[in-house]
Amino acid sequence: MRYTRAERLTAQLDMDRMLMQTPYERVLAALVLDTKLNLRFIRTGNPAEGARVALVNVESLLTEKHWDISLAWDADNLSVSVRGYS
């Protein structure tokens, strides 16, 4: 997915910021930027599966206006990667 960073988003976050969330039906997926500048990919499934989280630090990308975010998951793994582009 593509994300355009808000101008007001800086390295000094006082609280976590929700960047994306799907409507909850059977699965909830969300992207959260936390105060340590980690982008967290959170995915919940059925109650037996519970929530799973993958994260990547994006501090070096705060100067980039646009981000290309890749999300991947299967029954055993969950991953997130980010790169900046102009």
- pTM (2 decimals)? 0.85
Question: From the centroid of its chain, how far is CA 72?
Answer: 12
Average pLDDT, the chain: 88
pLDDT above 90 for 80: yes
Beta strands in 1-86 (DSSP E): 2-4, 17-21, 28-33, 38-44, 51-57, 66-73, 78-85
Q: What is the mean pLDDT of residues 28-53?
A: 89
pLDDT value for 50: 80
pLDDT value for 71: 94
C-alpha span between 57 and 39 (Å, rounded): 6
13-31 pLDDT per residue, tens: 889 999 999 887 778 899 9
Q: What is the mean pLDDT of residues 61-79?
A: 91
Residue ranges covered by each domain of the chain:
2-85
Q: Can you tell me whether residue 59 is helix, strand or coil?
A: helix
- In DSSP terms, 30 is beta-bridged to 21, 42
